[in-house]
Amino acid sequence: MISPPLVICLMGPTAAGKTALAVELARRFPVSIVSVDSALVYRRMDIGTGKPGPEVLAEVPHQLIDIREPWESYSAGEFLRDARAAIEGIVAAGRVPLLVGGTMLYFRSLWQGLSELPQADGEVRAAIDLRAAAIGWPALHAELALVDPLTAQRLQPADRQRIQRALEVHQLTGVPLSAQQGRASPTSDLRFLRIAVIPQDRRLLHARIEARFREMLGRGFVAEVEGLMQLSEMRADRPAMRAVGYRQLWGMLAGDYDRAEAERRALAATRQLAKRQLTWLRHEVCELRISMEADLVAEAAAALRTHGVRDALSASSG
């Protein structure tokens, strides 16, 4: 019986060193990288997302980077479709897919599948937007609580995109979104090696987060956000602006608060993101958990060899 194709999933909180580890593994093993990051899908958002530079991408290509404009949306369902296509192409080429990132919902969609929710309906969404313009999103959030209290409970009254989607699903199907999200079918035709990079000392991760943010500011992060604000299609409520750092700098540039407050908010939001990512990882089954303070390359490389992935050295000597 033929074993299902191996797919390596490299996960961890922001600033844990996932991208650098993935690039080093790609230099040593016949793996091809697929990004699992909801911010890296956007063009024109390079500095604040920690996107690999042109030189790195030229040497080690990453799939699912720069595939959307920053005013466009990108869903978990679209990721699942694109990731499966990328995996099939990589396997057909005789290589091993290496999925790397921190968007845990995307990873989970690949492992467990997604419920069969209806596609977006332009007319329904336009009607919801008109009603929101008339009575406000908090009022629509209250309406959602009447038909889907579980979804409304986990959403903020100002979360326009998710409130709209929940109301849309209910209007199209007559069934609450919360009742449909458990109907996923898992992926059974792939074999996963899940590697999680976990900090033993949260203070070290927070120090890395701050150092990386300062480095981004030094490279022109503010100017990058200014450039986005100048695009006629961009607004503060676009999905891409949920990315940490971008939303806070946008608020500063819009005059809502000063730079010191923007930096404080951005760092706090990034630490909260890391906390959520670690919470997800604590509840996931992972074949290998590596301490962020350990020799990441050595431990991950050993795991790949154990699962039958041959590096250049062993291939040449075998």
Place of tokens 């992060």: 221
The secondary element (H helix, E strand) that includes residue 76 is helix 76-92
Which pLDDT belongs to residue 58?
A: 98
Which pLDDT belongs to residue 318?
A: 47
Higher pLDDT, 316 or 250: 250
Return the CATH fold of 6-115+188-317. Answer: Rossmann fold (3.40.50)
Per DSSP, the residues of 106-158 read HHHHHHH----PPPP-HHHHHHHHHHHHHH-HHHHHHHHHHH-HHHHHHS-TT
pLDDT (mean) for 254-273: 98
Which pLDDT belongs to residue 187?
A: 61
The confidence band for 313, taking pLDDT boundaries of 50, 70 and 90, is low
Strands, DSSP E only, in 141-250?
191-198
Bridge-partner residues for 70, per DSSP? none
pLDDT (mean) for 149-160: 91
The confidence band for 59, taking pLDDT boundaries of 50, 70 and 90, is very high
Residues of the chain with CATH 1.10.20.140: 122-179
pLDDT (mean) for 108-120: 81
Question: pLDDT by residue (tens digit) across 83-97?
Answer: 999 999 999 999 999
What's the chain's Rg over C-alpha atoms? Answer: 21
Residue 278 CA to its chain's centroid (Å)? 14
Question: pLDDT by residue (tens digit) across 32-55?
Answer: 999 999 999 999 999 999 999 999
**Summary count for the chain: helices (H), strands (E):** 15, 6
Residue 256 CA to its chain's centroid (Å)? 27
The confidence band for 186, taking pLDDT boundaries of 50, 70 and 90, is low
pTM exceeding the 0.95 threshold for the entire prediction = no
The confidence band for 312, taking pLDDT boundaries of 50, 70 and 90, is low
The confidence band for 22, taking pLDDT boundaries of 50, 70 and 90, is very high
Coil, helix or strand at residue 258: coil
Residues of the chain with CATH 3.40.50.300: 6-115+188-317
Question: pLDDT by residue (tens digit) across 235-261?
Answer: 998 989 999 999 999 999 999 999 999
Domain 122-179 has CATH 3.80.10.10: no
Residue 154: CB atoms within 10 Å: 10
Residue 174: CB atoms within 10 Å: 8
Whether the per-residue pLDDT at 172 is higher than 50: the answer is yes
Whether the per-residue pLDDT at 230 is higher than 70: the answer is yes
Residue 285 CA to its chain's centroid (Å)? 19
